[in-house]
Amino acid sequence: MRFELAPDPDQVVLMARHAGLSRVVENFCLEIVCKKPAQRRAEETYGLSGDQLTEVPWTAPALERAWRETHPTRFPWFSEDRLSSRVPKEACRARAAGFANWLASRNGNRQGARVRFPKWRKRKHGNRFRYDADRAKPVDPHAVWLPGIGPVATRENMSWLTDRLAADTARILGSSVRERAGRWWISFQLEVDRDEINARRRVPEGAPKAGIDLGLNRFAVIVDEDGSIEELRAPKPLTQAQRALKRANRRLARCQPQSNNWRKARTRVAALHLRIAHRRIDFLHKTTTRLARTKSVLAVETLNVKGMSANRRLARGLADAGFYEFMRQLEYKAGWYGSRVWKADRWFPSTRTCGDCGLINSELTLADREWVCPRCAVTHDRDHNAARNLLVAFLTENENIDLAGKFPGEVKRLAETA
Of the pLDDT bands very low, low, confident and very high (cuts 50, 70, 90), residue 312 is confident
Point out the domain boundary residue: 343, 365, 396: 343
What mean pLDDT is reported for the chain? Answer: 88
Specify whether the backbone of 175 is left (phi greater than 0), alpha (psi in -120 to 50) or beta: beta
Residue 239 lies in a domain: yes
pLDDT at 409: 43
Whether residue 136 contacts residue 144, with contact meaning beta carbons closer than 8 Å, is answered with yes
Same domain, 256 and 168: no
Same domain, 16 and 145: yes
β strands within 181-271, DSSP E: 183-192, 209-214, 220-224, 229-232
Residue 71 lies in a domain: yes
pTM score of the predicted model: 0.85
> Which residues span the domain enclosing 121?
2-192
Residue 355 lies in a domain: no
Point out the domain boundary residue: 138, 161, 192: 192
Same domain, 103 and 246: no
pLDDT at 280: 95
For residue 13, give every residue at least 6 positions away whose Cβ sits within 8 Å of its Cβ, in sequence order, or none.
none
Residue 362 lies in a domain: no
The DSSP output letter for 405 is T
Please, what's the b/e burial string for 100-117 (b: 16 or more CB within 10 A of its CB; e: otherwise)? ebbeebeeeeeeeeebee
Same domain, 187 and 288: no
- Residue 53 to residues 35, 39, 42, 69, 225: CA-CA distances in angstroms? 13, 9, 10, 19, 68
Using the predicted structure, report yes or no on whether residue 26 has a pLDDT greater than 70: yes
Per cent of the chain over pLDDT 70 is 93
For residue 413, give every residue at least 6 positions away whose Cβ sits within 8 Å of its Cβ, in sequence order, or none.
353, 357, 358
Same domain, 225 and 307: yes
Same domain, 234 and 172: no
Total domains, the chain: 2
Using the predicted structure, report yes or no on whether residue 285 has a pLDDT greater than 90: yes
Same domain, 213 and 188: no
pLDDT at 412: 41
Same domain, 125 and 165: yes
Same domain, 177 and 33: yes
Residue 77 lies in a domain: yes
pLDDT at 349: 86
Using the predicted structure, report yes or no on whether residue 403 has a pLDDT greater than 60: no
Residue that wins the pLDDT comparison between 233 and 359: 233
Point out the domain boundary residue: 308, 343, 378: 343
pLDDT at 308: 85
Number of H helices, E strands in the chain: 14, 14
Residue 269 lies in a domain: yes
For residue 273, give every residue at least 6 positions away whose Cβ sits within 8 Å of its Cβ, in sequence order, or none.
181, 245
The 10s digit of each residue's pLDDT in 290-311 is 999 999 999 999 888 888 888 8
Residues in the chain: 418
Using the predicted structure, report yes or no on whether residue 103 has a pLDDT greater than 80: yes
Closest CA to 159 of 143, 174, 145: 143
Same domain, 49 and 173: yes
Using the predicted structure, report yes or no on whether residue 94 has a pLDDT greater than 60: yes
pLDDT at 197: 86
Residue 386 lies in a domain: no
Using the predicted structure, report yes or no on whether residue 190 has a pLDDT greater than 50: yes
Same domain, 272 and 322: yes
Residue 403 lies in a domain: no
Same domain, 188 and 213: no
Of the pLDDT bands very low, low, confident and very high (cuts 50, 70, 90), residue 130 is very high
The 10s digit of each residue's pLDDT in 30-59 is 999 888 777 777 776 777 666 666 777 889
Whether residue 274 contacts residue 181, with contact meaning beta carbons closer than 8 Å, is answered with yes
pLDDT at 414: 44
